Amino acid sequence: MTILKEVQTEVYTQDSVTKSITLSVVELGGSEETSMQNAMTTFNQLGLDANEILKIESIEYPRHYTANELA
């Protein structure tokens, strides 16, 4: 049996001057590795400063498919 899932990766940044925390990037992938790669690609495309990364969290969710997708 195949386990169907999606992994969501969230990248939080903290401004070095104001210390404000921002959820900067949210990306999905079929695995933690893919989700992380997608998140970091988006992070780089947005031109954000890697030194301001406060934390990166990955959360696994069951993937919900429609009947047509499973057919």
Nearest to 59 by CA among 21, 26, 22: 26
Residue 9: what pLDDT? 98
- pTM for the whole thing? 0.80
From 21, 18, 23, 19, select the one nearest 9 (Cα to Cα).
23
Lowest mean pLDDT: which of 45-49, 52-56, 67-71?
67-71
User: If you ran DSSP here, which 8-state letter would residue 31 be given?
Assistant: S
Which residue matches tokens 């047509």? 68
Q: By the 8 A CB rule, do 56 and 9 touch?
A: yes
Could you tell me the pLDDT band of residue 1, with boundaries at 50, 70 and 90? very low
pLDDT at 14: 97
For residue range 11-32, list pLDDT tens digits in order.
999 998 999 999 999 999 989 9
Cα distance between residue 35 and residue 12, in whole Å: 15
